[in-house]
Structure 1
Amino acid sequence: MSRSVEVEVLTKQGCHLCEEAMAVAREVCAEFSVPVLERDITDDAELLASFAEEIPVLRIDGQVKDFWRIDPHRLRRLLREASSAS
């Protein structure tokens, strides 16, 4: 990858969609050698208020890109785009 990309998945304990999203994110990000940060929204009142009904949430470089389900093909495209952005 030509530049560093930050990938974050907002989750909540006990959420089966969050577990699935993290598995997809880890697998795809490993292909790009990009680490994935998992962040539990219950640890942050602002995140909880903003995303309680949309988790899991995929953020790339701080911007929301997906929620509920993460499509691996879309994530690959997003990572390619983010890595080539100036």
Structure 2
Amino acid sequence: MTTVTVIGRAGCHLCPTALAIVETVVADLPDEIGDRIEIVERSIEDDPALYELWWEKIPVVLIDDELHAHWRVSPDRLRQALEEI
């Protein structure tokens, strides 16, 4: 199972867009890939450690806890990364 984590916070104007891109890309992947991907949403407001790491870079997208993107998410780049897993 691959985990894609979207880290943001309430009031972040880019966060809903990043989440929508992640959801769309995963939904458009072939089933044999998409069925192995879990999307997790986390907030820097709920976790002081996340706040310390990412407060100035949200939204942040992690793939299996490794940084994939911050601020803006490229659908093409995300799709490529997920297809290579």
Is the pair's TM-score, using the shorter chain for normalization, greater than 0.5?
Answer: yes
Match of 1:8 in 2: 5
Matched, 1:24 2:21: yes
State TM-score, norm by structure 2.
Answer: 0.87
CA contact (8 A) 1:26 1:35 kept: no
- In structure 1, the gaps of 5 or more residues are none
Unaligned runs of 5+ in 2: 29-33
Given candidates 54, 58, 63, the residue that maps to 1:60 is 63
Could you state the TM-score of these two structures normalised by the residue count of structure 1?
0.86
Which 10-residue stretch deviates more, 61-70 or 31-40? 31-40
Give the corresponding residue for 1:79. 82
- The number of equivalent residue pairs is 79
Tell me the residue number matched to 1:43: 46
Given residue 12 of structure 1, which amino acid in structure 2 is its aligned partner? R
In the other structure, the counterpart of 1:69 is 72
The percent identity for this pair of structures is 39
4+ long deviations beyond 4 Å: none
Higher fraction of strand: 2
User: How far apart, CA to CA, are the structure 2 residues paired with 1:26 and 1:50?
Assistant: 24
